[in-house]
Amino acid sequence: MQPEVIVVGGGMVGTTLAALLGEAGVAVCVLDARPGPVDGDAGRGQPAMRVSALTEVSRRLFAHLGVWSAMTARRVTPYTAMQVWDGQGSGEIRFAAEQAGVPTLGHIVENDVILAALEARLAELPAVEQVFDAQVGDLQHDDRGRRVTLKDGRAYSAPLVVAADGARSRLRTLAGIEAEARDTGHRAVVTTVRVALPHAGVARQVFLPTGPLAFLPLTMDGEDRYCSIVWSTTPDEAERLTGLTREALGVALEEAFERRLGRVEVIDAAVSFALAQRHAASYVSSGLALVGDAAHNIHPLAGQGVNLGLMDVAVLAEELLRARSRGAELGDVRVLSRYARRRRGDNAAMLAMMDGFRLLFGARHPAWQLARNLGLSGVDRLTPLKRLLMRQAIGERGRLPASCR
Ligand SMILES: Cc1cc2nc3c(=O)[nH]c(=O)nc-3n(C[C@H](O)[C@H](O)[C@H](O)COP(=O)(O)OP(=O)(O)OC[C@H]3O[C@@H](n4cnc5c(N)ncnc54)[C@H](O)[C@@H]3O)c2cc1C
């Protein structure tokens, strides 16, 4: 079958787009450089190191696609409250799901659990072909629209190619779309821990002078004493932390986290990732659309990256299906521009907000410290503003696509 859409990058964002289009009968080909599907045992045994905090809106999208139950059958951990405090002062804010009138604020889910459920769904859809071991080398125009050539010489053509190939998108470069990378001055140290005190379904984050440290709750075999760690810090400090023994890293985490969850036992290796913020100068050109990290790459301090990417593909699928029902060309830049217009503002606002947080909490001047204390505690008392921030955390911003309502 000739594809109508080629999705380059079968990560969480690309596979979600393929599922949305494939279930509507659009012929989609997903190309990914990975050697094969994710481990079938994802979500069983010890939690994987890479997790995502999914908003309620992202959960609704997965429920719409019929994949949420496959994720819960493996492992998901709901969180019903968020607690954020200033490690240098007294400011603190706490959001609880009941204040927003919702049962949960979101869920922590291992990335491989998300992907395993989506890949299984794609395998059921006759309109979708998944091709692994497919590293893209070139992108050209041809008489069907766009042609993607793999490093091994195989070639695929379609009216529309979607770049979902991550922050260092090869397709974005091949298409000549600029995306200035702004160094955040941070690397994220990631690992998994067991804590002495129950996390009670609360996602916690402390802002240290070097960057934010998050303890994201995970529950294994009914025990709420596991957390996924995302510690954003300077590159030197990240190197020092990843070089420590597990015991010494546990002590460093306990101290930095003010022992709020008691003793910390590190149960996995600690790995660090560079953190840059990028925003592509354009999301679309004729026969090409950028989605997810290929379009925007954001600091993980508010756990928004994949959620923004999921909103991109929900909106793009909605616009493509509407255009297709009218008989319009899927690669027509006027169709694609509707997607770009609906998504660019939300993504830009979130990128700017992350910059603001980082600068405010990285500042050591006493005036900034006062602002932080007054700000956090003030917001905590001001119910309407707090409710607005909570709706942001849940993902309810602007006009949502029908698949997410
Ligand atoms: C430490 C850390 C913590 C985070 N925590 C959160 C969180 O709590 N919540 C949240 O929402 N987000 C979080 N994020 C962000 C989130 O991980 C990303 O936004 C998300 O993974 C982006 O998904 P994607 O599908 O766009 O790209 P990716 O996950 O990068 O997937 C890209 C895919 O493209 C494939 N690919 C790449 N190049 C090629 C090529 N040339 N040819 C073919 N295939 C190719 C890759 O194999 C991969 O499968 C975090 C990020 C980091 C670094």
Q: What residue type is assigned to position 222 of the chain? A: G
**What integer pLDDT is reported at residue 38 of this predicted model?**
95
Name the token pair of 152.
Answer: 């091994």
Q: What is the CA(167)–ligand 1 centre distance, in A?
A: 7
**What integer pLDDT is reported at residue 13 of this predicted model?**
98
Specify whether 214 is located in the same domain as 319. no
Specify whether 289 is located in the same domain as 189. no
Nearest ligand 1 atom to the CA of 232 is 1
Residue 293, ligand 1, Cβ within 6 A: yes
Q: 238, 271, 304 — which closes off a domain?
A: 271
Residue 34, ligand 1, Cβ within 6 A: yes
Specify whether 221 is located in the same domain as 326. no
Name the token pair of 281.
Answer: 């100068």
Q: Which residues of 361-388 are buried (b: 16+ CB within 10 A; e: fewer)?
A: bbeeeeebbebbbeebbebbeeeeebee
Q: 219, 237, 271 — which closes off a domain?
A: 271
Determine the structural domain holding residue 228 and report its residue range.
Answer: 184-271
Percent of the chain with pLDDT over 70: 92
Residue 17, ligand 1, Cβ within 6 A: no
Length of the chain: 405
Of 69-78, 177-186, 233-242, minimum mean pLDDT range: 177-186
Which pLDDT band holds residue 369 (cuts at 50, 70, 90)?
Answer: low
- Identify the three-state secondary structure at position 384: helix
Q: Is the pLDDT of residue 272 over 70?
A: yes
Residue 165, ligand 1, Cβ within 6 A: yes
Mean pLDDT of the residues in the chain: 92
- Identify the three-state secondary structure at position 179: strand
Beta strands across the sheet bearing 106-110 = 51-55, 106-110, 76-79
Name the token pair of 369.
Answer: 């410290």
Specify whether 43 is located in the same domain as 174. yes
Q: What is the CA(74)–ligand 1 centre distance, in A?
A: 21
Specify whether 160 is located in the same domain as 188. no
Residue 55, ligand 1, Cβ within 6 A: no
Which pLDDT band holds residue 378 (cuts at 50, 70, 90)?
Answer: low
**What integer pLDDT is reported at residue 364 of this predicted model?**
60
**What integer pLDDT is reported at residue 374 of this predicted model?**
60
* Rounded-to-integer distance, Cα 249 and Cα 240, Å: 10
Nearest ligand 1 atom to the CA of 135 is 42
Please give, one letter per residue, the 3-state secondary structure of 242-303: HCCCHHHHHHHHHHHCCCCCCCEEECCCCEEEEEEEEEECCCEECCEEECHHHCEECCHHHC
Residue 303, ligand 1, Cβ within 6 A: yes
The CA distances from residue 212 to 107, 229, 359, in Å, are 20, 11, 11
**What integer pLDDT is reported at residue 92 of this predicted model?**
85
Q: Is the pLDDT of residue 384 over 70?
A: no
Residue 145, ligand 1, Cβ within 6 A: no
Which is higher by pLDDT, 358 or 320?
320
Mutational pocket test of ligand 1: of 52, 108, 268, the residue with most ligand atoms within 8 Å of the beta carbon: 52
Q: What is the CA(117)–ligand 1 centre distance, in A?
A: 16
Query: Residue whose CA is closest, atom 31 of ligand 1?
Result: 11
Mutational pocket test of ligand 1: of 306, 392, 394, the residue with most ligand atoms within 8 Å of the beta carbon: 306
Q: Per-residue pLDDT averaged across 353-358, rounded?
A: 74
Specify whether 129 is located in the same domain as 106. yes
Which pLDDT band holds residue 390 (cuts at 50, 70, 90)?
Answer: confident
The secondary structure element, H or E, covering residue 92 is strand 92-96
**What integer pLDDT is reported at residue 360 of this predicted model?**
64
Q: Per-residue pLDDT averaged across 169-176, rounded?
A: 97
Residue 292, ligand 1, Cβ within 6 A: yes
Specify whether 22 is located in the same domain as 71. yes
Number of domains in the chain: 2
197's CB contacts (< 8 A; 6+ apart) are 225, 260, 261, 262
Q: Is the pLDDT of residue 359 over 70?
A: no
Q: Per-residue pLDDT averaged across 70-88, rounded?
A: 93
21's CB contacts (< 8 A; 6+ apart) are 5, 28, 127, 128, 317, 320, 321
Express each pLDDT in 118-149 by its tens digit.
Answer: 999 999 999 999 999 999 999 999 999 999 99
Residue 112, ligand 1, Cβ within 6 A: no
**What integer pLDDT is reported at residue 191 of this predicted model?**
98
Q: Which of 107, 106, 113 is nearest to 47 (CA)?
A: 113
Which pLDDT band holds residue 94 (cuts at 50, 70, 90)?
Answer: confident
**What integer pLDDT is reported at residue 367 of this predicted model?**
58
Percent of the chain with pLDDT over 90: 77
Express each pLDDT in 250-270 by its tens digit.
Answer: 999 999 999 999 999 999 999
Q: Own/partner pairs for 347-354, CB < 8 Å, 24+ apart? A: 347/279, 347/295, 347/296, 347/298, 347/308, 347/312, 348/279, 350/298, 350/302, 350/304, 350/308, 351/277, 351/279, 351/296, 351/298, 353/302, 354/277, 354/298, 354/299, 354/301, 354/302, 354/304
Specify whether 56 is located in the same domain as 197. no
Specify whether 229 is located in the same domain as 262. yes
Specify whether 294 is located in the same domain as 340. yes
Specify whether 111 is located in the same domain as 189. no
* Rounded-to-integer distance, Cα 237 and Cα 227, Å: 21
**What integer pLDDT is reported at residue 330 of this predicted model?**
97
Nearest ligand 1 atom to the CA of 136 is 42
Q: 229, 252, 271 — which closes off a domain?
A: 271
Q: Is the pLDDT of residue 352 over 90?
A: no
Q: What is the CA(366)–ligand 1 centre distance, in A?
A: 37
Residue 230, ligand 1, Cβ within 6 A: yes
**What integer pLDDT is reported at residue 383 of this predicted model?**
66
Which is higher by pLDDT, 188 or 184?
188
Query: Residue whose CA is closest, atom 49 of ligand 1?
Result: 11
Q: Which of 386, 308, 384 is nearest to 352 (CA)?
A: 308
Name the pairing type of β-strands 28-31 and 5-8.
parallel
**What CATH number is given to the structural domain containing 261?**
3.30.9.10
Express each pLDDT in 326-346 by its tens digit.
Answer: 999 999 999 999 999 999 999
Specify whether 13 is located in the same domain as 149. yes
**What integer pLDDT is reported at residue 376 of this predicted model?**
66
Q: Is the pLDDT of residue 103 over 70?
A: yes
Residue 306, ligand 1, Cβ within 6 A: yes
- Identify the three-state secondary structure at position 58: helix
**What integer pLDDT is reported at residue 375 of this predicted model?**
65
- Identify the three-state secondary structure at position 43: coil
